[in-house]
Amino acid sequence: MSDLYDAFEMSPVPSPGPDAVPPEPFHGIYGMPAFVTVPTTDLAASVDFWTRGLGFFELFTIPGTLVHLRRWAFQDVLLVLADSVPERAPAVSVSFACVLGQIDGLAAACRAVRPGSVSADSPRDTPWNTRDIEVTTPENARIVLTAAKPHDPASQEARNLAAIGITGPTTGRGDNEGHA
Q: Is pLDDT at 169 greater than 60 in this prediction?
A: no
Per-residue pLDDT at 109: 97
Q: How far apart are CA 13 and CA 87, in angstroms?
A: 34
Q: How far apart are CA 130 and CA 169, in angstroms?
A: 16
Q: Is pLDDT at 13 greater than 90 in this prediction?
A: no
Q: What is the pLDDT of residues 57-107, one digit of tens each?
A: 999 999 999 999 999 999 999 999 999 988 887 878 899 999 999 999 999
Per-residue pLDDT at 6: 52
Q: What is the pLDDT of residues 17-66, one digit of tens each?
A: 778 888 888 898 888 878 899 999 999 999 999 999 999 999 999 999 99
The model's confidence at residue 174, banded by pLDDT at 50, 70 and 90, is very low
Per-residue pLDDT at 45: 96
The model's confidence at residue 108, banded by pLDDT at 50, 70 and 90, is very high
Per-residue pLDDT at 15: 80
Per-residue pLDDT at 1: 36
Per-residue pLDDT at 172: 42
Burial code (b: 16+ CB inside 10 Å, e: under 16) for 30-49 equals: eeeeeeeebbbeebeebbeb
Domain 17-26+33-150 has CATH 3.10.180.10: yes
One DSSP character per residue, 18-70 reads TT--PPPP-------SS-EEEEES-HHHHHHIIIIIT--EEEEEETTTEEEEE
Per-residue pLDDT at 180: 43
53 compared with 148, residue with greater pLDDT: 53
Check if the beta carbon of residue 69 is closer than 8 Å to that of residue 77: yes
Report for 39-48, 122-131, 144-153: range of highest mean pLDDT: 39-48
User: In terms of C-beta distances under 8 Å and separation of at least 24 residues, what long-range contacts does 3-11 make, across chains too?
Assistant: 3/167, 3/168, 3/169, 3/174, 3/175, 4/166, 4/167, 4/168, 4/169, 4/174, 4/176, 5/151, 5/168, 5/169, 6/169
Q: Is pLDDT at 148 greater than 80 in this prediction?
A: yes
Q: How far apart are CA 171 and CA 122, in angstroms?
A: 31
